Amino acid sequence: MNAIITAAELAGELAGPRPPVLLDIRWRLGGPGERPAYLAGHLPGAVHVDLDRELAGGSGQGGRHPLPDVARFGAAMRAAGVDAGRPVVTYDGGQGWAAARAWWLLRWAGHPSVRVLDGGLAAWEGPLETGEPSPEPGDFLPAPGRLPLLDADGAAALAASGVLLDARAAERYRGDVEPIDRVGGHIPGALSAPTTENTTEDGRLRPAAELAERFAALGAGPGKEVGVYCGSGVSGAHEVLALAVAGVDAALYVGSWSDWSADPARPVATGPQPG
């Protein structure tokens, strides 16, 4: 199944006999919660999921957005109406990063049918709904480990033996600026591959052939061992999504730079080259 769905395709499925569960994952790094915006208008039937509270564990050891407690994550998904046998579509305000985090977590936890609304809420041309729905509880039980996962040691090894992509902005990769974490730079051996270059100006993913060409130029193609990291496992999930659309399987280092850079003993490379 394709990892993304267009607004027109979603409208058709919502009108059909087996509509997907909709999860609204609007989120801003370091900003106020997006629940007021959700209540003011969301896709019909969509349930708001808070990324910081329900799609991540507490900030600290393991980075800013480590994996959530599996039992708590499962409970949140069931409360949102997620069933094991019913498709799920995630969306956010348009950037796609938060929606991709939900997509990755659900796929990692074993849900067989999850897609991201391409272009997010901004691409939706149908009616919006206000207030909050009361979905029937779902039956989804997480079975973690269905997508590959990296820790710090695994990321370091992959940078040496395979292809490790850094999904952050190029200036953070180089170490020119670091607005969030302890130190700037990148994991030695990692390649700069900003996830923002995977999308068009309106936030939609580029066509699969263009994405495949881009990743092939970085050495990431089908059959290659590929991993991705970012700042804290959110925009990196979006790069994993883009790789999936391009036909490339990739592991995610969830702790990402926020985890790597927190340990002063880990090496840091700076500048435009992998190091």
pLDDT over 90 at 33, yes or no: no
pLDDT digits (tens, 9 = 90+) for 154-206: 999 999 999 999 999 999 999 999 999 999 999 999 999 999 999 999 899 99
pLDDT digits (tens, 9 = 90+) for 91-139: 999 889 999 999 999 999 999 999 999 999 999 999 999 999 999 999 9
Intervals of CATH 3.40.250.10 along the chain = 4-123, 149-260
Tell me the C-alpha to C-alpha distance, in Å, between residue 216 and each of 162, 180, 235, 238, 251: 13, 30, 20, 17, 16
Helix (H) or strand (E) holding 14: helix 7-14
Is residue 83 annotated as part of the catalytic site, yes or no? no
Q: Is the pTM of this model over 0.85?
A: yes
Report the CATH number of the 149-260 domain.
Answer: 3.40.250.10
pLDDT digits (tens, 9 = 90+) for 221-274: 988 999 999 999 999 999 999 999 999 999 999 999 999 999 999 999 999 999
Out of 51, 155, 159, 230, pick the active-site residue.
Answer: 230
pLDDT over 80 at 152, yes or no: yes
When pLDDT is cut at 50, 70 and 90, the band that residue 45 belongs to is very high
Architecture of domain 4-123: 3-Layer(aba) Sandwich (3.40)
